Amino acid sequence: MQNSMRKRGQKVIQKQGLLGLIILLWLTACGTEQLPPSALEQVQERGQLRVGTLMNPTNYQLRNDIRSGFEYELAQGFADTLNVELEMIPAVDLRELWQLLDTGQVDLLAAGLDVTDQRRERLRFTPAYFNIEQKLVYRQGTRDRPRDWSQVEGKIRVVTDSSHEELMLRMQAIYPHLEWSATPLYDADELLEQVMNETIDFTLVDSHLLDIKRRYYPDLSIAFTVREEVPLAWAFPPHGDDTLYAVAIEYLGQQHYSGHIAKLSDRYFGHVEEFNYVDTRAFIAAVETKLADYIPLFQRYAGDLDWRLLAALSYQESHWDPWARSPTGVRGMMMLTLPTARSMGVRSRLDAEESIRGGAQYLARMKSRIPARITEPDRTWFALAAYNVGMGHLNDARIITERQGGNPDYWIDVRQRLPLLRQKQFYRTTRFGYARGDEPVRYVGNIRRYYDTLLWLDQQGKIPYSQPTEIEYAGELSDQ
C-alpha cells in the first residue's frame, strides 16, 4: 500500500516537474521575445531623422542646392547630435503637415508651430524655443489704421488650420461684424502679397515673418498686435514612447544654455526687428534708378565676396554716390579714408571703379584677419564692423565680451558690448580707447537688411541689370 502510494506520489511529482519545466520554458520564451524598437532606436537604425516642415523664409528654403532656414539649422544640429542624416520633408500646407506626422512619415514637426490649446489635443509639444507676436496687417495708404477689432472693416483672410484661424473663430464670437475667411490655397507669404496687391484688406502674420517681408514690402503696415509672447515649439505624435521626445527636449535645453539658439535667431531675425519705412523705400528706389550702372564693377571686384554684399556695403557708405564726401575726410563710393585708399593702391577715391576695387580689397583684408575659428556668417559681420570702426576697437569689444562672460566669437554677444566703448569705465581699460561703438552695430544691421533685400529682389528678377558703361574718372589726385 505504501509502495503504491509512493509510486503514485512519484508520478505526481514527475508530472508537476514536467509542468513546471514547461511553464519555465514558456516564461523564458516570453522573456526573450523581441520588443518593437523605440522611436529613438528607429531613427538610429534608419540612420536618418525625418523632419516635417513648411517651406518659407523662416523655416526652410532650398535655393541653388543650398539649404537654409532657422528650423533647418536647428534640426540639423539635432540630427548631428544623434549621429544620423537629416531629411527635411516639406508639406504643401498645414493639413498635409499633420498627415505626415499622423501616418508616421516624419519623426517630428519643425515648422514654426505656435502652441495653442486646440493643438495640444492632437500634438505633443517640446518646451518653447522662441517667442513671437502675431499682428493684423494691411497696406499703408489704403485705409485708416484700426486700433482694435471693433474698428476693423474689410476682408480678412487667413490660412486654413492655422492658429490664426483659431483666433478668428474666437474673435468672431466677440465681434460679429468681422468679415473673414480661411483658405488652404495660399500660405502666409502669399497672403501678404495679396494684401500688397489689394486683393484682400487684412491678414494675420507672425512677427518674425513680417519683419523679413517688410524689407521688400515696406508698405505693409501693422494695425495692432493680436497675440503677444506666442511660443514656438517642435511637435511630436501625441502617443508612443518618449525616447526621441526626451532627447529632443534635452537637445533644445542645451542649445538654449549654450547660446546657440540666440545666435541662430540673431542670424535670421535679429537684424530685421528695427524697421525704417523711409529708409527702406529710399533703398528700393535707389536699386531701381542707380544700382544698374555699378553692378558690373561690384561683380568684377567682389572676389570671394558676394557682389550683393559689396553693393549693400557701398549703399550704406555713400548711397551709391561716387562723389560722396563726409566732414571726417572719407570719400567716394566706399567712403575710404586717405590712408586706407593709399594702402589699397587707390589713385582717386572719387573714381567709382577705383573706390569699389579698394573697398572690396579692404573688406577682404578685414575678413582675413578675423580668427579662423569664427564661422560664417559671424565672420562677415565682424569684418563689416572692422571696416567701420577698425580692427583694434573691434578686438577691444571682443575682450570686454569675454570679461563679461559672453562669447567673443559670437556677433550677437559682441554687438551688445561695442556700445560700451563710449563709456570711460570700459574704454580706459582697452588698448585702443574710446570709440563710438554703437555706430558699427547700426552699420552692420543696416548692411544686413540691404543685403537681404538685394538677395530677394535678385531672386525675383527685380534688379535692373545693364551693360557696363564708362564712368567718369576724377583724375590722379593724391588727396582724394
- Find where cell 567701420 sits: 388
Closest among 210, 161, 151, 214 to 183, alpha carbons compared:
161
C-alpha grid cell, residue 456? 530677394
Dihedral sign (CA 386, 392, 397, 403): positive
C-alpha grid cell, residue 180? 473673414
The CA-based angle 395-269-210, given to 5 degrees, is 150
- For residue 153, indicate whether it is catalytic: no
Tally Cβ neighbours within 10 Å of residue 38.
14
Which residue is catalytic, options 71, 165, 317, 354? 317
Tally Cβ neighbours within 10 Å of residue 211.
21
| Phi, psi dihedral angles at 170 (to 5 degrees) | -70, -40
| CA dist list (Å): 150 to 44, 153, 176, 178, 389 | 53, 8, 10, 9, 50
Give the amino acid at 393: H
C-alpha grid cell, residue 299? 561683380
* Rounded-to-integer distance, Cα 250 and Cα 374, Å: 26
- Find where cell 503637415 sits: 97
| CA dist list (Å): 212 to 40, 220, 259 | 35, 11, 22
CA atoms within 13 A on the CB side of 300: 13
What is the set of active-site residues? 317
